Amino acid sequence: MSDTPTAPVHVVLGATGGIGAALARQLAAEGATLVLAARGEERLTALADEVGGTAVPTDATDASAVEALFDQAVERHGRVDGAANTVGSLLLKPAHRTSDAEWRDVIATNLDSAFHTVRAAAARMQRSGGGAIALTSTVAARLGMNHHEAIAAAKGGVIGLALSAAASYASKQVRVNCVAPGLIETPLTERLTSNETSRKVSEAMHPVGHLGAPEDVARALAWLLDPRQSFITGQVLGVDGGMGSVQPRRTA
């Protein structure tokens, strides 16, 4: 039996990651009804208790698990208005040093999970009047960067997925957009941000001169999910401190 809320119903996949948790808190502050998904049950339950959402432990690389997640959201709340996939990984290796297992894991984590999200969300949204899907790519998908072959390929696929799905579902009032962040300070990137030399190099690559925070990306995702952005679909929003489009200032 569904408990149909008046607030928007949003599903967040990868909710216990740095960006996913920030998005959950952002959406909760805006009054949304949340269904949160991630693999780690303990952290997921703690986050759901914090923001007043529903925790559904889910492996986003498993298509049937993602279908079950959205079924549960619809059964519980009557509909899904927004879905955000913040699932991701970071592998920095040149192609010749990347194993088959590493390649498959990067594709499954980043691209397969995004496809499963689009397929499950769009199928249900188009039956209930529409909705919004927001995916997460990376600035490296559109800017050649060394040692990013696997992750750039996977996240480049996410951009292609978002654009094609936006075309497929526009007439059903299902909007599909994507964010492409620069380097964001999260537990996933701690190996880069905690090293002073690496951090300074990374900061210099961003024209604004500093790294991003999870909240920067969360605000962009929440904005794309907002039904007031009904005229925005098929877009890739760079949340990258200008890295993808602006030359950093060079000192003499």
Specify the pLDDT at position 101: 98
Identify the domain containing residue 156 by its residue range. 9-238
pLDDT score for 219: 98
Q: How many domains does the chain have?
A: 1
Q: What are the tens digits of pLDDT across the range 188-247?
A: 887 888 888 888 888 888 989 889 899 999 999 999 999 999 999 999 999 999 999 898
Say what the pLDDT of residue 252 is: 46
For residue 245, being part of any structural domain is answered with: no
Packing angle of the helix pair 18-29, 214-225 (nearest 10 deg): 50
Is 1 inside any structural domain?
Answer: no
250 located within any domain: no
Q: Examine residue 35 and state whether it is found in any structural domain, yes or no.
A: yes
Q: Is residue 233 part of a domain?
A: yes
Judge whether 94 and 149 are in contact, CB under 8 Å: yes
* Short-list 32, 82, 85, 77, CA closest to 58: 85
Structure pTM?
0.94
- Is 52 inside any structural domain? yes
Check residue 1 and give its pLDDT: 46
Q: With respect to residue 136, please indicate whether it lies within any of the assigned structural domains.
A: yes
CATH number at residue 38: 3.40.50.720
Residues in the chain with pLDDT < 70?
1-4, 249-252
